[in-house]
Structure 1
Amino acid sequence: MRPHLTHRRRAFRLAVVTAALATALAVGSPPVPAIGSTTTAATDDYCLGQCGDILPPGENGNATLIEILAHKTLGTRPPHSGDQLDRYANLVYNYAGLTDDQLSRFFDDAALGVPAGQVERTERPRSDVTIVRDRATGVPHITGTTRAGTMYGAGYAGAEDRLFVMDLMRHLGRGQLTSFAGGAPGNQALEQSVWRNSPYTEADLQAQVDRLRTQGTRGAQLYDDVASYVAGVNRYIADCMAGRYCPGEYVLSGHLDAITNAGGPQPFAPTDLIAIAGVVGGLFGGGGGGEMQSALVRIAARARYGAAEGDRVWTAFRAQNDPETVLTLHDGQSFPYGAAPADTSGVALPDAGSVNAEPVVYDRTGSAGATAGAQGVLPGLHIGADHQGMSNAVVISAAKSATGHPIAVFGPQTGYFSPQLLMVQELRGPGIAARGIAFAGLNLYVLIGRGLDYSWSATSAEQDITDTYAVPLCEPDGRPATVRSTAYRWHGQCLPMEVLERRNAWKPTLADGTAAGSYRLQALRTKYGLVAWRGTVGGAPVAFTSLRSTYRHEADSAIGFQMFNEPDAMATVDGFQRAAGAIGYAFNWFYVNSRDTGYFNSGLDPVRASGADPNLPVRADTAYEWRDFDPDANTAAYLSPAQHPHGVNQDYFISWNNKQAKDYSAADGNFSFGPVQRADLLDVRVRAALAGGGRLDRAGTVRVAEDAAVTDLRGEKVLGSLLRVLGSQPVTDPALAAAVTELTAWRDAGAKRIETAPGSKVYRHADAIRVFDAWWPLLVAAAFNADLGDGLYASLVGAMQVNESPSGGQQGDSGGGASPNEAQPHKGSSFQYGWWGYVDKDLRSVLGDPVAQPLPRRFCGGGDPAACRQVLLSTLGRAAAQPATQVYPADATCAAGDQWCADAIAQSPLGGITQPLIAWQNRPTYQQVVSFPAGR
């Protein structure tokens, strides 16, 4: 294996570090405050030692130049920058047989306050706030005597722990990442995807800040909180500049002169928080916008099979309301939303072959590439069409708990970075008491965590809050429009599109491996949203726009987070649901206190007009606009809270980005809610644990979640049917028979991807896993492509990728091009999107098993069991013959053929401190295990 120090070379080149040695002594170190001795432990913490959490690699995300140089040359790391990584990683080796008494080996104590003797250091950035760091983790416990002081302390501590990451994120949110951090391909791709999704002018950002004051008492409080928070951030910047201990990345990236102290981080403004919120909301709280991908599948299906049969095929693969899919609300609750209406008069299908994506890059000069392996400073973040599969939750009701109190093991999956995009903090002040995580630059509130006697978490919901409109193009002078026209029809007028642009340039001195270059980012905005595609409808040129309900409302959701942090607002499950209902982003929210469990699906779900099909592009006409649509404010009528999926004290709740409830349709571009979905791994284990009157304790709930985290979904849910087809007759070929034997043994052992022994870096059933990883894309293409045809198959692959294995390296001949998620290695999160449900339905049909809502055609072998068996045998033979070096190709981290390394999770560097690989586990980045034995 290649040394991890060279991981993608996307952080800072050793040559630059060496050149900086001469200046290191000129750079200061942070002052070390006196160690505190007074007790700050909370007296109102009702968790009584039963709350834990974990966020690898560590809380400390700032490193001075000296610390970075020491890390590069000596292998040392700053305190608390990596002290949670081993605890997180080692659960995979120890979850079997785990007991409540052992949880503290793998989770931090999430108690409120800091006990006497556990205070590492105390800071007082101003008179009305105290920041206490605990010895165990270095987490900031921020206590303000005023609310403004609490917010000021949050800003100061946030910058102290994540200043350089905050700077990356605010530049990314403005479409200026490459100018700040260099033009590596990964930086360019991410910057462009953000600009497609959330382009804003400075006036747009300021308008969102100013609007807070018009949103009642809570909005006014949020405005004041933001101002105090930003003041705290800027105080830290002033302190680190004066003391010459700002993050060393500023020196290494050319933004700070280590000798003269010129340059450095620029002060923050409230608009920076809006820019960061636009990135976070697009990444984790968006949904919809995939109408074009859905339309292209429908067009291709009609071309292949004719209109009637083509529509049946499109509907089946769309899997919008599959009766076999796993649900979070599993007691028959129905929440109708997003289904195709009977009246589809508003549908605007593009003409076949006419559609092209709208470019965002113009005027490119200089290098468009980079040195080998340069992926950028934010590798692994994807926005827009790159599906996001994140976060899970297991919540056990009091009635099913071994203690009579609810239990939750839950958390968000936000990728793995060093330092994380997230930070842990505790906030205590007037009207606020919470501990948990927040994104860097947004930590004025705890976003997910716990309060005095309750805890809450979220998973991405992905319901449809973004629609695509087919907007007629025009020319102001009356000439005939073309598909490149930059004016459009709005209520009888021909209006010019608004041009939103950013100019970026990067220098070769930046340590990301790129040459000098520049380009202009451009987005075009209409009253129907942002131009995403162009094409024709019935021969007439149109722009297909993306209209997101939360666009230009990035700050509004903060009011819900404000409520989450307030003990009085969150004392009951009803209060929790009111708080979650104030959040516009698409999330599934979960809650526990000592008595109750609760669930609520948040999001600004627009009320659509009759005739508007949310699954397909809609005609840009007054009749098909969102109900009560105001384009200048981007507001509309929305579903009421009662119409959103919600529940209280269901026997258990599970979520892994699955379908929320019966009749609550997935976003138009989400084809994944079929009979096999990642949440099945949780659901089947919880049901088994509770069967026959069983009960779960905290450790048992962790065991459920972790066992699911090491299981290959394809192996557990689909391999059995594949083996049944193969086993319908004896397999006579010795090589194929050996492969079948190995696969059978792996499947019978639980289809897990776990090592032979802790730290061995060799999988049990390694050869079976190799064969299956190689086989999956081959068998999917062979089973479906012949009947679907190349065009429709490629369109379907474009809508939903074939595979999402842990290593991401097996493309096979799956056709349609590789999805960015499918090809992304070392990201941890796996098995969210893939063709497992399609394969499962088709094989059960071929085998003659009952299938609710089957596919309209039998694809494998044309539906003939013998022919299907031959398809599987042929592809299995090809897969078995692939050496490990082909199945697991080399990358900048791993040598070719290193199966464990190919799966392993990398904490992608966001600065100068790197971390070692850890074993794969499909688990939240930040995870809580909580139960409250008492309450107010």
Structure 2
Amino acid sequence: MARRTPRNVLDRLRTPRGFPGFLKSTAICILIAGLLSPLSQAVAAEQVTASNDYCGGQCSDILPPGENGNATLAQILLNQAFGTQPAHAEDQLGPYANLATGYSALTDAKINTFFNDASFGVPSDQVASTENPGGRTDVTIVRDKKAGIPHITGTTRYGTEYGAGYAAAEDRLWLMDVFRHVGRGQLTTFAGGAPSNQGLEQEFWRNAPYSEADLQAQIDNAVAGAGARGQQALADANAYLAGVNAYIDASDSGRYFPGEYVLTGHKDSITNAGTIDHFKITDLVALASVIGALFGSGGGGEVNNALSLLAAQSQYGLEQGTKVWESFRERNDPEAVLTVHDGKSFPYATKPANALGQALPDAGSVTQEPLVYDRTGAAATTTATGASTTAAATAVSSARRGMSNALVVSGKATASGHPVAVFGPQTGYFAPQLLMLQEIQGPGLSARGASFAGLSLYVELGRGQDFSWSATTSGQDIIDTYAVELCQDDYHYLYHGTCTAMDKIEQKNAWKPTTADSTAAGSYTMRVWRTKYGPVEYRATVGGKKVAYTTLRSSYLHEADSIIGFQMLNDPGYVTSPQTFQSAVQHINYTFNWFYADSQHTAYYNSGDNPVRAAGTDPEFPVWAQSAYEWRNWVPGTNTADYTAPSAHPNSIDQDYYISWNNKQALDYSTASWGDGSVHRGNLLEDRVKKLVAAGGVTRASLVKAMADAALADLRAEDVLPELLKVVTSSTVTDTTAAAAVTKLQTWITAGARRTETSAGSKTYANADAVRILDAWWPLLVKAEFQPGLGTGLYTAITANLPIDESPSAAHGPTGAHAGSSFQYGWWSYVDKDIRSVLGETVQGALPQKYCGAGSLTACRDLLISTLKTAAGQTAAQVYPGDDQCSAGDQWCADSIVQRTLGGIKHGKISWQNRPTFQQVVEYTSHR
């Protein structure tokens, strides 16, 4: 199989520098002999056993495409020429893909056909290799035959972490290097000036424009604020880095370092000239800043919110326009699916009765602050003003938008009486994967699971001795926008009445031409103006006064703080119960939903540093940068403040079941996401798990089936299409084209409304015409239903807050094509509420007016039939126009998941599934 990405770093990885036409050269044979994986150098296998495993063989996991994310130059060239795969580069991709067609016949005994056995240790007959990294006698890395996962066992804490660093570099050195440069805004200097590389560094550096001093200060502050655990974390990080650097030195002298270093000009394949820079501790913070921006930072859309509010007020007037805006915002929709569904309320970021300090922009005055300056070279034709429009940046950022799910069932509803959980994060599909698997056992450390490459000194998502944990992105609002009044010029602002200069933070990048692509030499400078209230993102006027809109994130300057929570999760002496689990994740300052299961209990906790805002301020909109509207006890130099108490965060122990698919957490808990209404992706899990729990006797297999079935469901078809067809068929459909389309859509609903192949590997959808019709119909019907009533300006403004569609082919969605994750963002709830209102059904939290046909059932029906007829007449080539991966009209390919290349190895497409990337299936049989 093969895996691809929009061209980013790999724009340069086509032909090795200095070796034109190399793929036709016999030199490849020499490289095959000399540059194969260092795994072949491992010492004789020996048995490793674990006596601290309480899962009873009932823990499983999977992480496609494979554990091995490093490849020598020879392996890259063989892969690109012939599709040959290095060992363990894609051996988890097939089992992962096959669940889509194999889940219906799943039994507990068959689970490890589609997952890895995640038991601790490696049976003696499954040991593939054993090594003592750096010649150390206090740590051993054993790799298993099936997946090549490193099982790290140390007799000292230092040795254990040294082994973790060594194993990380063995499996992800190139990726780690790429992302430490992304975090510093230096990717183009490191990997070339391709537009996609520029897009990656621009997207992330704007959010965290740190100097080297900023990075070091975050480490110092995190350590100082955490006492003995902080000192231990620092020691662990230094040992981990020593292991990483030991592998760099060993692979350099042995000439088995990742081949991408040759292909990007950092190493010479003949003379071995050139260097691979050692990692240092500030690199870990740079890496963490990228991961935090991707997965753990909710909020920040206040300016866009203000623009859509102003559009609503312009369309309807102040009072009615505000009411309309609030109805579409759905801050606290009574029909929203909830993770904590026992009725308990957790008020946060709620709407004040009378908003204070609001700083809405004057109409037409908002401009985005430019990021790029002094551009030279051929790439000057590429525009980049913040969030990149390049395919690579879209691909990586797609991981941020559609992430993660969890299904957790209490033992009261299971066949065994023990809780069952199926959960994991959706981190996107990449080659190599952003996450890596490992087991780590040593003094004060006992865990197996997934960690982000370069941050794997601790397991971040996985299992301990007698419990498992996982996370989904929660998205509650920890980012606020402040309007700082300008004085003197555009680069001075009022801070507590004093005219204060903004800090100018710059990153200058230059790149050289290569023979690997057509990118010419060039350079540019990224510049961010930073205030005490955070970086400047927009400029505008408010009441005629010139302002800069700044973005303040509670985790800004605190990217390293969460290390303490992860340390606790890996400490078998700390997490021994659901209560201690909740205590551990309270130390994680990013916005996540955390789930827990052991043999007796389940638990949930929502993490993040939720700032205590000034009374009366509305977090949905910009506020004035004045002391009265700042976070309580905010200290700008360190960006610390008062945060809401742990008990105020949504939390629960032993609820009958939990589901999460980035949906609303609890009553009165406002997230920064639009679309938490009556129809949400979380309903696909809620409906299935609730039914299982009501029937009782839940097993690992039945819960996996529920997840897999939801992963193939078309949310629109399952939860909205039946209502639409009620309107369409409220009278006889006389138009033959529309009537035929209705029949096909109804047949698809009866069959389960899933996007599934006719048979495994057929690459053809069952109910293909119905799928095509709905894909074409949805954007047409949404526009026809809402634009006339909202007006073009307001309709366009709301689509900037919430895209109308996110189908798997992503023709109109934010994730980009071939990203897997789908149906997170769309107007499903709006259509559902409006259509039910037109039908005269009961709607809680209804929109303030009826939009379809202006409320007339007859007019609404005519509108739907007209747009349905148009959609049915569109050909597959029109609906699926093709791209660099697929020919026009190839429906299966348009939906397919592509492992997007961040290195030199490619893998093949797999059929669409809407599920986590890393996933666990667990049921513990006992407890310590």
What is the TM-score of this pair, normalised by structure 1? 0.95
Q: Which deviations, in whole Å up to 9, do the C-alpha atoms of 1:410-440 show, x marking residues without a partner?
A: 0000000111011000000000000000011
Cα shift at 1:182: 2.3
Is 1:547 the equivalent of 2:552?
yes
Displacement, 1:204? 0.4
Within the alignment, does 1:407 sit opposite 2:409 as a pair? no
Does the 8 Å CA contact 2:63/2:917 hold for their aligned counterparts?
A: yes
Q: Which runs of 5+ in 2 are unaligned?
A: 383-388
Query: Could you report, residue by residue, the CA deviation over 1:231-259 in whole angstroms, capped at 9, with x for unpaired residues?
Result: 11000000011111110011111111112
1:837 and 2:847 equivalent?
no
1:325 aligns with one of 318, 333, 336 = 336
Q: Quick one: which amino acid aligns to residue 914 of structure 2?
A: N
Inter-partner Cα distance in structure 1 for 2:845 and 2:5: 47
Structure 2 residue aligned with 1:447, among 447, 454, 460? 460
The CA distance in 2 between the partners of 1:14 and 1:165, in whole Å, is 17
- Contact 1:182 / 1:510 at 8 angstroms: preserved in 2? no
**Aligned AA (2:817):** P
Pairing 1:183–2:186 present? no
SS, match of residue 47 in structure 2: coil
Q: CA RMSD in A?
A: 1.8
C-alpha deviation, 1:364, in angstroms: 1.2
Change (3 A) 1:9 1:414: closer
User: Does structure 1 retain, via aligned residues, the 8 Å contact 2:199–2:390?
Assistant: no
Deviation of 1:375 (Å): 5.9
1:56 pairs with 2:64: yes
Moved more, 731-740 or 179-188: 179-188
Instruction: Supply the AA of the counterpart residue of 2:360.
Output: L
1:712 partner letter: D
SS at match of 1:382: helix
In structure 2, distance between residues paired with 1:369 and 1:827: 29
Taking the aligned partners of 2:6 and 2:627, their CA distance within structure 1 comes to: 51
State the distance in 1 between where 2:269 and 2:394 align: 27
State the match for 1:581 in structure 2. 586
Cα contact 1:285–1:462 (8 A) shared by 2: yes
Q: Summarize deviations over 1:72-101 as a string: whole Å, max 9, x none.
A: 223211110011110000000111131101
Question: Any conservation in 2 of the 1:452–1:567 contact (CA below 8 Å)?
Answer: yes
1:783 equivalenced with 2:785 (yes/no): yes
Deviations 1:842-880 (A, max 9, x none): 000111000001000111111111111111111111111
**What is the match of residue 577 of structure 2?**
572
Alpha-carbon distance, 1:688 to partner:
1.4
The one-letter amino acid of 1:168's match is V
Q: Is the 8 A contact 1:456 1:592 kept in 2?
A: yes
What amino acid sits opposite 2:323 in the alignment? Answer: R
Alignment of 1:245-644 (within 5 A): 245-368=256-379, 380-382=395-397, 388-475=401-488, 481=489, 485-509=490-514, 511=516, 513-644=518-649
Q: CA deviation at 1:28?
A: 3.5
Question: What's the secondary structure of 1:892's corresponding residue?
Answer: coil
Q: Is the 8 A contact 1:347 1:611 kept in 2?
A: no
Letter in 2 for 1:488: Y
Q: Which segment drifts farther, 850-859 or 509-518? A: 509-518
Could you tell me how far apart the structure 2 residues matched to 1:329 and 1:510 are? 56
Bigger drift between 65-74 and 413-422 goes to 65-74
CA deviation string 1:353-389 (max 9, x = no partner): 1111111111111223799xx9676661118xx9612
Alpha carbons of structure 1 residues 486 and 510: separation in structure 2 relative to 1, 3 Å: farther
Q: Deviations over 1:46-81 (max 9, x none)?
A: 111100000011100110011112222232111100
Within 1, Cα distance between the matches of 2:113 and 2:862? Answer: 50
The 8 Å contact of residues 590 and 608 in structure 2, kept in 1 or not, is answered as yes
1:96 maps to 2:99: no
Distance, in Å, in 2 between the alignment partners of 1:882 and 1:517 is 44
TM-aligned CA deviation for residue 30 of structure 1 = 4.4
Relative to structure 1, is the Cα distance of residues 468 and 14 closer, same or farther in structure 2, using a 3 angstrom cutoff? closer
Distance 1:167 1:617, change over 3 A: same
Code of the aligned partner of 1:61 = G
Q: Please give the secondary structure, in 2, of the residue aligned with 1:362.
A: strand
User: Could you tell which deviates more after superposition, 323-332 or 741-750?
Assistant: 741-750
Q: Deviations over 1:681-701 (max 9, x none)?
A: 00000111222x422100000
> What is the CA distance between 1:169 and its match in structure 2?
0.4
Which amino acid in structure 1 is aligned with residue 757 of structure 2? E
Of 527-536 and 361-370, deviating more is 361-370
What SS does the corresponding residue of 2:423 show, helix, strand or coil?
strand
Deviation at 1:187? 2.1
Q: Which residue of 2 aligns with 1:132?
A: 142
Q: Which amino acid aligns with 1:28?
A: L
Matched, 1:198 2:208: yes
Q: 1:886 to 1:515 in 2, by over 3 A?
A: farther
* Residue 145 (structure 1) aligned to one of 155, 172, 178: 155
Asked if 2 retains the 8 angstrom alpha-carbon contact of 1:182 and 1:512, the reply is no
Residues in 1 aligned to 2:405 and 2:4: alpha-carbon distance in whole angstroms? 32
What SS is found at the alignment partner of 1:486? strand
SS in 1 for 2:791: helix
Displacement of 1:525 in angstroms is 0.9
User: Is 1:747 matched with 2:749?
Assistant: yes
In structure 1, runs of 5+ residues without a counterpart are 476-480, 812-818
**C-alpha distance in 1 between matches for 2:3 and 2:335:** 46
Structure 1 vs Structure 2: percent identity of aligned residues? Answer: 56
- Contact 1:181/1:512 (<8 A) preserved: no
Contact 1:181–1:510 (CA under 8 A) maintained in structure 2: no
Amino acid at match of 2:452: F
Separation in 1, partners of 2:379, 2:344: 52
Contact 2:36 2:75 (C-alpha < 8 Å) held by counterparts: no
Distance 2:73 2:641 in 1: 50
- The AA in structure 2 aligned to 1:930 is V
Instruction: Report if aligned partners of 2:6, 2:901 keep a CA contact under 8 Å in 1.
Output: no
Kindly provide the CA deviation profile for residues 322-349 of structure 1, in whole angstroms up to 9, marking residues without a partner as x: 0000000011010001011123121111
Would you say 1:167 and 2:177 are equivalent positions? yes
Counterpart mapping for 1:680-719 below 5 A: 680-691=683-694, 693-719=695-721
Query: CA offset at residue 18 of structure 1?
Result: 5.9
Secondary structure at the aligned position of 1:568 is classed as: coil
2:901 is the counterpart of 1:909:
yes
Per the alignment, residue 478 of structure 1 pairs with none
In structure 2, relative to structure 1, the CA distance for the partners of 1:799 and 1:387 (3 Å cut) is farther
Tell me what 1:122 maps to: 130
Q: Distance in 2 between matches of 1:744 and 1:262?
A: 65
Separation in structure 1 between the aligned mates of residue 236 and residue 479 of structure 2, nearest angstrom: 30
Give the match's secondary structure for 2:350: coil
- The CA deviation at 1:503 is 1.0
Q: Offset of 1:210 from its aligned partner?
A: 2.0
SS in structure 1 of the partner of residue 396 of structure 2: coil
Structure 1, 179-188 or 913-922: larger mean CA deviation: 179-188
- 1:907–1:914 contact (8 Å) kept in structure 2: yes
Matches of 1:71 and 1:527 in 2, distance apart?
A: 50
Change (3 A) 1:96 1:528: same
SS at match of 2:104: coil
SS in 2 for 1:381: helix
The answer to whether 1:899 aligns with 2:901 is: no
Following superposition, the deviation at residue 20 of structure 1 comes to: 4.2
The separation in 2 between residues aligned to 1:37 and 1:557, in whole angstroms, is 37
Please state how far the C-alpha of 1:596 moved relative to its aligned partner.
Answer: 0.3
Give deviations 1:158-213, integer Å, cap 9, x for gaps.
00000000011000000111222223332222211112211101110111122233
- For residue 270 of structure 1, what is the amino acid of its counterpart? I
Residue aligned with 2:407, SS: strand
In the alignment, which residue of structure 2 is the partner of 1:814? none
On the 8 A contact 1:320/1:673 being kept in 2, the answer is yes
Amino acid at match of 2:145: R
Query: What SS is found at the alignment partner of 2:863?
Result: helix
**Distance in 2, Cα, partners of 1:13 & 1:443:** 27
> Match of 2:479, as an amino acid?
T
Equivalent pair of 2:400/2:427 in contact (CA under 8 Å): no
After TM superposition, give the deviation of residue 747 of structure 1 in Å: 1.4
